[in-house]
Chain A
């Protein structure tokens, strides 16, 4: 880095300067995706459904019912419902993460699409915002398709599922923002393996997707309660059970805080990357 700084140069950590210029960038991604939507849809929902069927029916036969604590006390729910409500959060996380890591990295680094866009009057901040919203949109799309299949399978008929939908969108936003931090740091696709094996895989097992967090040892349980996916599960699972979540404001606030902080960091790191 240079030792003397031009005083007119704003810091990479300056507040995001956002405008409506993100829209044509979002629209660009939508247009590309429309051409590939059907195969990508199959890929996006086939895997989560295989998990659900294999574990839900297979393990469900062994496990039977799981106790879930609610404001009305402990409730026994079929394992397939327990798993479905957790794994849909995981699907929201995975879909957002894949798009904001691999696809965004292709556009940013491999195809140099971002460079082309920024030769037009679109600032980097708006490009990053567009990528974030796009990844969250794709995540919402995947989640919607899986919800549809779950409804068709009769796993849950809770009217509160309507509320789970915007919550899952927020989950997609949060994980898009976090993934963009790693996108900004990546030198190649290999780098993302670290993120998956060191962050996402442990999070998947510690956030109460497959089994209640209460099963974990005390210290791990304490750590797990700070994972964003835990908050997503705590919000979405009761909605699947036709129950109101406990402390919804707290869970929403944590997810939002993760999203805002991660977006800010992602933006600063991306600005630094592009200023070089």
Chain B
């Protein structure tokens, strides 16, 4: 294993009696995209805040680029690019001014920032908006400007807290494209997200958090293979819920490894979908959807289908 770029060991954070991050350890290797997924309140944002030195851990240590957080916070932040959950763009500045002013916070000289500005705007697909203020931009444009701003200091590691939340599919795909481009250029990324397709598409490795604890870690496909059957058959329609009663439908249940109900839908998790689909043909009123198990299934299996009180 090469020396990790970023290493978190036994991190603990408490607010009063509540432990919001509990003995969390992980590494980020150079060039990888590590995804952090978990329900609301799982401790994702608190973890990022500690990684940025914004709040002090109650235990554990954070090592970045061989430096210690929070002791060397400024030296570490000089090599980071951050996109926080909420845009913090300057509403009074144009896109170009936003980048210039932000570069100054890194101690960069204007003559070094100015040549970078058009390139960053082009990267963010905002060249035509250089003179526009954030208030005139769409949600996707604002997020891309935030990303461009985070790149002004040519960081080694990007920390992105839910970078595509609230974006429409087009804007989300453009953001993914840009992040993939950055990974190809050798940047490393720490990403939190609620979107499983985003995590699966971008992340080489995933961390699943719940109640402040790490409950799973690994490559997306490997995690799915490890925790789930390969196939899922979703059944809905009149009388679908009746199928979930094991005693009444024993032969059907014998074909599935696991049966779950959520709302009006029954989920059959199985090693072999064909016999199950064949058996379901006896119920012509029902609609079925056969698909491979995905990250969302894994996420729901690990963290439950119930809506959280604080969600």
Contact = CB atoms under 8 A, between A and B. Distances in A.
Interface in A82-134: 111-113, 115-123
Given A6-B58, A6-B59, A121-B107, A116 B88 contact: yes
Interface in B85-134: 86, 88-93, 97, 101-102, 104-107
A122 B88 contact: no
Interface string B68-98: 0011011101101010101011111100010
Q: Which of B57, B73, B90, B150 has the most CB of A within 10 A?
A: B90
A24 B52 contact: no
Contact of B91 (A5, A111, A275): A111
A74 interface: no
A120 B58 contact: no
A2 B14 contact: yes
A54 interface: no
A274 B102 contact: no
A4 B91 CA distance: 40
Chain A interface size band reads 20 to 34
Contacts, number: 89
Given A24-B101, A35-B92, A119 B77 contact: yes
Contacts of B90: 28, 32, 111, 113, 116
Contacts of B78: 120-121
Contacts of A121: 73-75, 77-78, 105-107
B88 A6 contact: no
Contacts of B74: 21, 121-123
A4 B15 CA distance: 11
A275 B90 CA distance: 23
Contact of A25 (B56, B89, B105, B153): B105
A118 B105 CA distance: 9
Nearest to A114: B88
Given A4-B58, A6-B57, A32-B90, A119 B14 contact: no
A116 B134 CA distance: 14
B102 A2 contact: no
B54 interface: yes
Contacts of A28: 90, 101, 104
A120 B102 contact: yes
Contacts of A117: 105
Interface string B6-27: 0000000011100000000000
A123 to B, nearest CB: 6
Nearest to B89: A116
A119 B58 contact: no
A1 interface: yes
B105 A113 contact: no
B272 interface: no
A31 interface: yes
B226 interface: no
B102 A32 contact: no
B153 A32 contact: no
A215 interface: no
A27 interface: yes
A27 B88 contact: no
A4 B86 CA distance: 31
A108 to B, nearest CB: 11
A86 to B, nearest CB: 35
Contacts of A9: 56, 70
A32 B134 CA distance: 14
A8 interface: yes
Contact of A2 (B16, B92, B101): B16
B88 A111 contact: yes
A122 B105 contact: yes
Nearest to A24: B104
27 contacts: A2-B16, A4-B59, A6-B56, A6-B59, A8-B70, A8-B71, A21-B74, A31-B97, A31-B101, A32-B92, A35-B92, A111-B88, A112-B84, A112-B86, A115-B84, A115-B88, A116-B89, A116-B102, A116-B149, A117-B105, A119-B150, A120-B78, A120-B105, A121-B75, A121-B77, A121-B106, A122-B74
Interface of A: 1-6, 8-9, 21, 24-25, 27-28, 31-32, 35-36, 111-113, 115-123, 274-276
Interface of B: 14-16, 52, 54-59, 70-71, 73-75, 77-78, 80, 82, 84, 86, 88-93, 97, 101-102, 104-107, 149-150, 153
Given A9-B56, A24-B104, A123-B74, 19 more contacts: A3-B14, A4-B14, A21-B105, A21-B107, A24-B101, A25-B105, A27-B101, A27-B104, A32-B92, A115-B86, A115-B88, A119-B80, A119-B84, A120-B78, A120-B153, A121-B74, A121-B107, A275-B56, A276-B55
